[in-house]
Amino acid sequence: MPQKNYRVSVLVRTRDIEGHFTELLWRMSRQTLQPSELVVVDNFSSKDKLEDMSILLSMAKKKFFGNRIHVKLVPLTDSEFSHAYSTNVGVFVANGDLVCITNGHSLPLSNMWLETGAVHFRNPEVVGVGGYFVPHKDGSIWEKLAYDLGWKRLNELSRAYVEDDFFSTINCILRKSSWVEYPFDEKLPSKIFEAGKFGGEDYDWAKEMLFRGCSIIVDSRFIVYHSHKERLPQLVLKYVVWRRIRKRIRMLRRPRKPYTRLESVKPLYHNI
């Protein structure tokens, strides 16, 4: 377990109520290490969908969590949304010393998921823990093949994915004090963003932390289900673009000063 005085917030970024969202809340309630707080950043598509989310969270808090944790709902419109900003907003309003970040369509594999990641912060030099993600059982055959024959196989052969810069906001935990010093960059050089579709701010954050002498841990037991039912052409495109993005991020001069809208705009949130 992490040190007893650590508070752990879980940040879930979602687009309305996604297919696995309710099950995610249920699995969160069964964790051996219970979060002190749940922060949901909802990129809502309509006022009705936002109201549905508020009702669901209120019911889930009563049914799954009781008074054990605080629940916050942070609404974002489409015009406000970016991957980096939605994550920054959630971490900003989180009260935890540690913030675990995942998505509304992701599911922890085990009841020890949160404890497995958080225990590494006993070491004060650790500022982030990255975890793995495997396809959902209803994922596409191409996603499962890509994981089993590609990602997993490459890891077994080269150990490349256990390198300390493997850090994704699909499944990670960070030390909030380190995020305060370097939030996720919402304005990486425009060529990196490839029209804003793929991001790269999490990889940039890990690279910056390593440059500053901090430690990032990659734990292969810290796992969530995560997939999008993508076909082979989509997976190939994603792989090619991510390789390009990672290469460009590695070429950036450090130390860097990130940009975030939070420097001038403070987000609103609702306590559930």
Give whole-number Cα distances, 245 to 132, 164, 204, 264, in Å: 20, 17, 10, 28
pTM of the model as a whole: 0.92
pLDDT of 237 reads 85
* pLDDT tens profile 47-92: 999 999 999 999 999 999 988 899 999 999 988 998 999 999 999 9
More confident residue, 165 or 76: 76
Count of H-run helices and E-run strands, the chain: 10, 9
pLDDT band at 191 (very low <50, low <70, confident <90, very high): low
pLDDT for 195 equals: 46
The domain ranges of the chain are 8-262
Instruction: Please state the rounded mean pLDDT for residues 226-237.
Output: 88
Decide: residue 48, CB within 10 A, 0-12 exposed, 13-18 middle, 19+ buried: exposed
- For the segment 144-154, the average pLDDT, to the nearest whole number, is 69
Instruction: Determine the average pLDDT of the residues in 110-128.
Output: 97
CB 132 within 8 A of CB 155: no
148: which residues sit within 8 A by CB, 6+ positions away?
none
Least confident of 50-54, 134-138, 150-154: 150-154
DSSP state of 103: E
| pLDDT higher than threshold 50 for residue 159 | yes
Rg (CA), the chain: 18
Indicate the range of 2-11, 111-120, 250-259, 260-269 predicted with least confidence. 2-11
Lowest-confidence pick of 35-39, 79-83, 222-226: 79-83
The mean-pLDDT minimum among 39-53, 123-137, 139-153, 226-240 falls in 139-153
Q: For position 33, what pLDDT does the model report?
A: 95
Q: Is the pLDDT of residue 46 over 50?
A: yes
186 has pLDDT over 80? yes
pLDDT at 244: 87
Distance CA 258, CA 225 (A): 30
Q: Which of 49-63, 131-145, 152-166, 173-187 has the lowest mean pLDDT?
A: 152-166
Tens-place pLDDT, residues 243-267: 888 899 999 999 999 999 998 888 8
Phi/psi at 102 (nearest 5 deg)?
Answer: -150, -170
Nearest Cα to Cα of residue 177 among 94, 258, 109: 94
Predicted confidence band of residue 140 (pLDDT cuts 50, 70, 90): confident
Return d(Cα 229, Cα 20) in angstroms, integer: 13
Please give the span between the terminal C-alpha atoms of the chain, in angstroms, as a whole number: 28
Model confidence band, residue 161 (pLDDT cutoffs 50, 70, 90): low
Mean of the per-residue pLDDT values of the chain: 89
CATH number of 8-262: 3.90.550.10
3-state secondary structure of 123: coil
DSSP string, 132-176: EEE--TTS-HHHHHIIIIIIHHHHHHH-GGGSTT---TTEEEEEH
Percent with pLDDT over 90 in the chain: 67
Comparing C-alpha atoms, which of 91, 82, 73 is closest to residue 269? 73
Q: How confident is the model at residue 214 (pLDDT cuts 50, 70, 90)?
A: very high
What are the percentages of helix, strand and coil residues in the chain, rounded to 5? 40, 20, 40
Angle between helices 21-29 and 47-60 (to 10 degrees): 20
Q: Is the dihedral of CA 260, 266, 270, 271 positive or negative?
A: positive
